[in-house]
Amino acid sequence: MQIDRLIRVIRERGNPSALGLDTRVEYVPAAFARPHIEAGGPADAVRAFNFALLDGLRDLIPCVKVQAAYYERMGLPGLSCMYDTVAEARRLGYVVILDAKRGDIGATAAAYSEAYLASDAPLAADFLTVNPYLGSDGVTPFVDDCRTSGRGIFVLVKTSNPSSGEFQDLTVGDGRALFEHVGAKVGEWGADLIGSEGYSSVGAVVGATYPEQGARLRRRMPHTFFLLPGYGAQGASTKALAGCFDASGGGAVVAASRSLICAHRRAGTDDFVSAARDEALRMRAELNTALGQ
């Protein structure tokens, strides 16, 4: 199961973080990008940038989160770049999360799942983010494919964006917030997919920008692995995130995108790989200190 592999590679690297490849061509140093743009266009520059980062960080970072929107915006060349980026990350041994937030009625959800999670998926990733707003029949096709392929999903529970509370924090039914009801369903969907490391293939997206809510969910979801977006550029700190992890400092992975892929801008250098490594080392140390590791 990929959830067991994710936990083990985090342990091996001593680093519960994910490299978020939310890459825009504007983030690529101009001198590096120019020959690739001239030869093949912006998507070629993004591909080369991603490949260099993947190679340069593979000894430090266990996991990659590829945000589909940044590739779809470049059209067919961008989709080709996304496919190649996912394939290269998997080749280099990363666990790959495709952040595409798919979700639809049952038949369409099944088609999405066939594309990304099925055993013979043509766009295979190790994990896919899923939107549960349509209810169980929009999620169970993904869960079914997780059962047969060993891959996994991260279901949106409490997202990191500022307006997430407009719906997710509404009090519903028995007095719990809507995000807590969704969290309970995530636990149900994944109850029979718990691996040898004690966590289910059905995980939860929990915004790092809402650590108190994350800590509440952690107490109620002992077998659900958390994907924690919102670190760095969105303002979440590692110290506040400790409650989203389990008592052993496991059970979650923190996604960092711009803080890593744009580290060279803050450092005032075109050496984006070295700058990203420096930031990855700083982030790892900060996370381990916060988790008492």
- In order, the DSSP letters of 106-131 are HHHHHHHHHHHTSTT-TT--SEEEE-
C-alpha span between 200 and 202 (Å, rounded):
5
- Residues with Cβ within 8 Å of residue 292, at least 6 apart in sequence: 249
Q: Using alpha carbons, select from 88, 85, 97, 67 the residue that is nearest to residue 6.
A: 97
Catalytically active residues are 101
Res 154: pLDDT: 98
Whether the CB-CB separation of 194 and 219 falls below 8 Å is answered with no
Whether the CB-CB separation of 114 and 121 falls below 8 Å is answered with yes
C-alpha span between 179 and 207 (Å, rounded):
11
Q: Using alpha carbons, select from 64, 60, 145 the residue that is nearest to residue 97.
A: 64
- CATH code of the region 2-288: 3.20.20.70
DSSP state of 19: E
* Token code pair at residue 292: 């008492």
Task: Give pLDDT tens digits along the chain (293 positions).
Answer: 999 999 999 999 999 999 999 999 999 999 999 999 999 999 999 999 999 999 999 999 999 999 999 999 999 999 999 999 999 999 999 999 999 999 999 999 999 999 999 999 999 999 999 999 999 999 999 999 999 999 999 999 999 898 999 999 899 988 899 999 999 999 999 999 999 999 999 999 999 889 899 999 999 999 999 999 988 655 556 777 889 999 999 999 999 999 999 999 999 999 999 999 999 999 999 999 988 86
Res 86: pLDDT: 98
DSSP reduced 3-state for 253: strand
| Domain locations in the chain as residue ranges | 2-288
Res 230: pLDDT: 83
